[in-house]
Structure 1
Amino acid sequence: MRHILSLLLIATVLYGCNSSSTNTETSSDKKDKTNVLILIGDDIAFGDLGVYASEIKTPNFHRLAESGVRFTNFHASPVCSVTRSMLMTGCNNIEVGLGSFDYSFYPASKGKAGYEGYLTRNAVALSQLFNDEGYEVLKVGKWHLGGEAAGGYTPLEWGFTKEFGILSGGSNHWNDLRMTPIFSDPDFMHKKFKEHWTLNGEKYNRPEGVYSGELYTKQMIDFIKEAKAEGKPWFSWMAFTTAHFPIQAPPELVEKHYKFYLEKGYEGLKQYRYERLKAKGLISHSAQPAPENDLVKKWSQLSQKEKEYQAKVFATYAAEIEDQDNRIGQILDYLKESGQMDNTLIVYLSDNGPEGMEAENPNTGNQVFGQWIANNYDTSFEGIGTANSSNYIGTAWANAATGGLSWWKWFIGEGGVRVPMIIVPPGASKDNYSRAGQMSNVVMSVKDLPMTILDYAGIQHPGDTYKGKKVVTPTGISARPFLDGKSDIVRNDKQWYAFELFGNAYIMQGNYKLIKVRKGMFGDGQWHLYDVVKDPSESMPLEDKMKDKFDQMLATYKQYEKDHQLVQVDESWNAFKAASEGN
C-alpha cells in the first residue's frame, strides 16, 4: 500500500510540473466557474415583450421569466451607449466618458472630462476582470462604446478575447450598409455607405441576405462552443441590434402582426398595453394613464393609406422583437443541450426605451437625414422591412409602446429609462429556485448589474486601483442578496442614484424620483417629485405635499452635480437639432 501511495504522489508531482506555469487552475476549477450570458435588446420598450404584457408572443422570454425574476422598476439610461457604459463598469456615466454620446454633443461640453462620448480608461470594465480570471470574453453584435473615428477603444482593447459585429450604434439588418450617411462626405445625399464589420479585429465581409439576429446568434453559439471545447469558462456580451432602426425583419414574421396594429392604431395600442400592464401587476393597479403628449400624432389625423403604412412599420418592429425571442431560444436550447445551463448566469435588459425619432419632424428629428433616406431607399408600402428600406417607428408608436409610461428614448421620463430586465441565477428553474417566476418592483439601476454579475462569478472588484492605476470606484450595488432570498430589497430607502444627460436630470431614492426636464427638451425646466411605483406615468407630482423629501433629494442631487462638475446646459438647447446623425 505504501508503494502504491508513493507512486501516486510521484505522478501527482510530475503532473503538476508539466502543467502550465502561467495557469495553475485544474480543469475542474475552470468547470466550476460561473459562465455569464448578458443579452441586450436595443430600443425595446417596457411594454414590448409578451412577458411584460405585450400582445407580441415571446415564449423564450417566458422561459427566462419562469426560471428567474422579472424586474418592473429597473432603470437604464435614455440612450444606447450611455447605458452600455454603466453596464460595463458599475459607474455613473459622467465618470467614464459618457456624459454625452457620439450622436449629440452640447457644444460647451466638448473637450471636458467626462464628455468624451466613448468609454474612457477611468474605470475597469467587466470584460477586463473576467479576462484576468482566465475566461473567454466574448462580444457579439453592437459595441457603441468607442473605437471608430470619434475616438475610444475597440472590444479587444477592453479585454474581450473574441469579438464579432459592429462598433457603431446600429446598421442595416440585411447587409453591410450603414444606417446613417457620413455627413462629412460632400456628396452624402446621393449615396449609401458601408458599415465597418469586424471578426476578432479583422475586417469581415458581411454576407447579404442574412438577418442580423441569425448572423449574431450563430456566431455567439460558435464562440461558446469553442470555449467549451477548450475547457474555459466564458463571459458573453450578446448585443442584438433589434429593434433598432432601420425597422427591418423577416417577412414571414411581419404579416401576422399587421391587422392588429391597423385596428388598434396609436391610442388603441397604448390603452391596450396600459390595461394589460395593470391587470398583470407589472405596474400598480392604481396607476393612471400617461398624460397626452403634444408631440404625438393622432391616429385619426392619418389617411387610410398612411394608417396602413404605419401599421406595417410597427408590425415589422414587432417582428424584430419576435425574431430576437427566437434567437434567444436558440442560445438557451444550446446551453441546455450542452449541459451548461446550470452553470450560467443569464441577464436580459433593453438599453433604453423605444426610439421616437422622426427624420421629417422638426422637433425630434433631422430633416436632412430624412431627405437622404428618401433619395436612397425604397419608401413604398411594399418595401417596408426589406434591405432597401429605412423606416423608424416614430414618436406616436414609441409613445404607444410604453403602455402606462410617458416619453421614450432620449427622454428621462419612465418610458425612456424604465425597461424590461430579467435575471436567472445559475441553475435556477421553476422547480428549484424560490424566486422563480416572481415579478419585483424593487429599485434597481443598470449600474447594479455589473456588481451582481461579479458577485455570482466570485470576482472581487479592485475598488479604486486596477493594476497600479487609479480608477473610479463603482457605486452599483449587488442584487445577489435579494436574488438569493436573503433580502427583500436591493437598495434601501436611503440609497440613491442620480443621472444627467443633455441637461435633463433625475435622482431616485426608494420609490421616489425627482426629475427636471429642460424647456428645450419639451419640459418646463422645473423639478418635480413622483412616486414611480404608485404613479409610473409621472402624472401626480408630490413636491407640494412632500416638501421635506423634495428638498432633501434636491440637495443630494445638487451635491452630485457639484462633485461631478456637470456642465450646465442652456434652457433652450435641443439635443435633436444638434444631432447630425440619428442614434
Structure 2
Amino acid sequence: MMANEKPNILLILADDLGFSDLGCYGGEIDTPNLNEIAGKGVRFTQFYNSARCCPSRASLLTGLYPHQAGVGEMDHDLETPGYRGYLKDECVTLAEVLRTEDYHTYLSGKWHVGKQGPIKRGFDDYYGLLGGFNSFFEKKNYVRLPEGRPEHQYERDQFYATDAITDHALDFIEDARQDDNPFFLYLSYNAPHFPLQAPKEDIKKYEKVYEKGWDRIREDRLARMKELGIVAEDSDLTQRAEFWTRDRKVTGRNPAWDSIDQDRQKDLARRMAIYAAMVDRMDQNIGRVLENLRNNGELDNTLILFCSDNGACGEWDPWGFDNWITTSNTLHRDKDLDKMGGPESYHSYGSGWANVSSTPLQLYKHYSHEGGISTPLIAHWPKRLEREGEIDHRPGHFIDFMATFVEISGATYPDNYNGHEILPMEGESLVSVFDGKSCQVRTLCFEHEQHCGVRKGKWKLSKVRERDWELYDMENDRTELYNLKDQYPELVVEMIEIWNEWAKRTDVTPRRKVTN
C-alpha cells in the first residue's frame, strides 16, 4: 500500500459528553456537523469507554485495558502496577505505531495520561492542555510542544480553548500536506468538561431551552432516540438517578424539576445552557475541520471517529458546584445569572442534568453502569465505509482503536519497543464491523474506583462500589432496570469469575486501598 493511498485518521474525543447529547443521538443541542457525518456514516450505540477521563484516554491510546497501561485511576501514582498514573513502558501508543508507517502524528487538545507527555509517546507536534481541566479563557494554561516550536498567532477578540485547539489542528493538517504521507490527528477537546464556560453568543442560543426542566427534556430525548433507532421502541426511562457526594457520605436521588424553587430552576437552566453552548461550539469547530478536509479533497479517504471519554459528569449533587476544591454551590440570581459561563465563573451542572445527558441509561461518569461507560461513536470514511446512515448495536470498546488503525495503516504491532516487551493488543479491529460483517460474541470488563462491570454477549453484570453485583439482559433491558441476579445464579457466579480472572490478569488487583 503506497503512503498516499493510506487513509488519514482523525480521532475526535469529547470530554464528559453524555450518550444522548448530540442531535444525531436524540439530543436537542444543535450539532449539524456531527449529524452530517453520522448521516453519511455509522452510529454505534453500544460502544464503551472506561468510565473516566484518564483511564479512557489510556485505553484509547494503547489498545489495552487502562490498568495494563498503568492508568487504572487518575494521573497520581498509587504505587501498584495498574495505578501508576502514567503510560508504562510495556505499552505503545497509536502515534508510536503509526509512525512506523510514515504517518505524521499530531495531538491537539487534552493529554491527561501522565508525566511523560505526548512528544515522548510518539506525537510529532502538540498543542493543548496537559492536565485535566482549567479555564477555557486563559491562554496561559495551554502549551505548544516540542518546546521552542513557534506558537501560532491568531487574530481573535478573545481566546477560547475550543477555538484554539482547532486552530492548531488545522495548522497541523496543513503541515502534513508538505509531503505525500498520511496524517494521524488526535483531536482531543476538553469541552464540555467543567468549568462550564462558553462565548456569550453561544449561551444566548440556549437561554430558554432548559427552562422546561430535566424531566421534560429527558422524556423528549427518549422519544427522539426511539425515532432515530438509537434505542429500542420499548425502552423504558429510568427513574431519576441516584447521586453520591465526593466523599460518598451523602447519597440521594435527583428531585423532580417541579419541586425545585424558581430561583434554583433559573440557576440550573443557565448551567445546562452553558453546557449546551460548549457542545455547540465544539461542533462548529469540528465543522471547520471537515470543511478544510473537503476543500482539499481529503475527506473521502480520512477515517473520522468521534467519541466521548466517559459518561456525563454527575459530580457531585443535583445543584452542581462553583468551586472544584470545596465542591460548594452558589445559587446565582438576577443579574448574576448573566455572568455565568464567563471568564470569571466556574461551574459544573450537577447530577440532575448529567442524568439528562445519559438518557435513558443508568448513572454517569465514574460508574460501570451503562450511563458511565457508553459513548456515542460516529464512524465516517466515504472511500471505505459504505454503510451510509446505519446504526449498529454491537458492543465495542476503546481497546478496538489500536487494532483498527493497525489494520488500515498496514502497520505491525510490536512485541518489543525501545527495549521493553510490549503487551499484546486486547481489542478487535472494527474494519469487519465497518463492512457490516457478523462478529463473535465479546466479553468486556470494567473497573474504576471499585465500580465494576462485565459484559458477555447479551449479559451484563454491573456493580456500584458498596453494593452487590446486578445482572441485566442488554438485549431487552439496556437501561438496567430489571435485575435478574436471582433468576440466573449460576450465570452470575460464572461472570464474577470472568471478572476476577480479568482483574488479576490486567493488574486491577492487587491495588493500594484508597481511603479518601
TM-score (norm 2): 0.91
How far residue 367 of structure 1 moved from its aligned partner, in angstroms, is: 7.5
Q: After the TM superposition, which residues 170-319 of structure 1 pair with which residues of structure 2 at under 5 Å, given as runs?
A: 170-176=133-139, 195=141, 197-202=143-148, 209-263=158-212, 265-292=213-240, 293=242, 294-319=252-277
Matches of 2:41 and 2:7, distance apart in 1: 16
Paired residues of 1:90 and 1:451 also in contact (CA < 8 A):
yes
Paired residues of 2:355 and 2:364 also in contact (CA < 8 A):
yes
Closer/same/farther in 2, CA of residues 313 and 202 from structure 1, 3 Å limit:
farther
Q: Unaligned regions of 5+ residues in structure 1, if any? A: 1-27, 148-152, 177-193, 520-524, 579-583
Q: Unaligned regions of 5+ residues in structure 2, if any? A: 243-251
Matches of 2:512 and 2:363, distance apart in 1: 21
Report percent identity of matched pairs.
29
Paired residues of 1:269 and 1:401 also in contact (CA < 8 A):
no
Q: After the TM superposition, which residues 161-560 of structure 1 pair with which residues of structure 2 at under 5 Å, given as runs?
A: 161-176=124-139, 195=141, 197-202=143-148, 209-263=158-212, 265-292=213-240, 293=242, 294-358=252-316, 368-370=325-327, 380-425=336-381, 427=383, 433-462=385-414, 464-485=415-436, 487-489=437-439, 492-493=440-441, 495-519=442-466, 525-560=467-502
Which position in structure 2 is the counterpart of 1:155?
Answer: 118
Q: After the TM superposition, which residues 28-67 of structure 1 pair with which residues of structure 2 at under 5 Å, given as runs?
A: 29-67=2-40
Q: Please say if 1:145 is aligned against 2:136.
A: no
SS of 1:128's equivalent in the other structure is: helix
Closer/same/farther in 2, CA of residues 533 and 329 from structure 1, 3 Å limit:
farther
SS of 1:48's equivalent in the other structure is: coil
Paired residues of 1:346 and 1:426 also in contact (CA < 8 A):
no
Paired residues of 1:295 and 1:395 also in contact (CA < 8 A):
no
SS of 1:223's equivalent in the other structure is: helix
Matches of 1:113 and 1:66, distance apart in 2: 42
Equivalent pairs, count: 500
Paired residues of 1:345 and 1:456 also in contact (CA < 8 A):
no
Matches of 2:324 and 2:13, distance apart in 1: 30
CA offset digits 1:126-175 (Å, max 9, x no partner): 1101122222100001000112xxxxx11100111111111011221111
Q: Which structure has more helix as a fraction of its residues?
A: 1
Matches of 1:78 and 1:536, distance apart in 2: 17
How far residue 119 of structure 1 moved from its aligned partner, in angstroms, is: 1.5
RMSD, aligned α-carbons: 2.6
Paired residues of 1:73 and 1:443 also in contact (CA < 8 A):
yes
Matches of 1:498 and 1:379, distance apart in 2: 48
Matches of 1:66 and 1:319, distance apart in 2: 22
Which position in structure 2 is the counterpart of 1:102?
Answer: 75
Matches of 2:292 and 2:142, distance apart in 1: 29
Matches of 2:390 and 2:42, distance apart in 1: 5
Matches of 1:556 and 1:244, distance apart in 2: 34
Paired residues of 1:243 and 1:320 also in contact (CA < 8 A):
yes
How far residue 406 of structure 1 moved from its aligned partner, in angstroms, is: 1.2
CA offset digits 1:501-526 (Å, max 9, x no partner): 1112111111221122122xxxxx21
Paired residues of 1:247 and 1:313 also in contact (CA < 8 A):
yes
Paired residues of 2:118 and 2:126 also in contact (CA < 8 A):
yes
Paired residues of 2:319 and 2:350 also in contact (CA < 8 A):
no
How far residue 205 of structure 1 moved from its aligned partner, in angstroms, is: 9.9
Which position in structure 2 is the counterpart of 1:8?
Answer: none
How far residue 298 of structure 1 moved from its aligned partner, in angstroms, is: 3.3
CA offset digits 1:275-308 (Å, max 9, x no partner): 2222322112222211333342432343212211
Closer/same/farther in 2, CA of residues 478 and 47 from structure 1, 3 Å limit:
same
CA offset digits 1:356-401 (Å, max 9, x no partner): 1148989x99874345x97xxx993121111111111111110122
CA offset digits 1:410-456 (Å, max 9, x no partner): 1221111111101123525xxxx531110010011111122112212
Paired residues of 1:516 and 1:526 also in contact (CA < 8 A):
yes
Letter in 2 for 1:333: E
Paired residues of 1:100 and 1:115 also in contact (CA < 8 A):
yes
How far residue 54 of structure 1 moved from its aligned partner, in angstroms, is: 0.7
Closer/same/farther in 2, CA of residues 172 and 366 from structure 1, 3 Å limit:
closer
Closer/same/farther in 2, CA of residues 366 and 220 from structure 1, 3 Å limit:
closer
Matches of 1:233 and 1:561, distance apart in 2: 38
TM-score (norm 1): 0.81
Paired residues of 1:99 and 1:501 also in contact (CA < 8 A):
yes
Which of residues 91, 95, 100 in structure 2 aligns to 1:132? 100
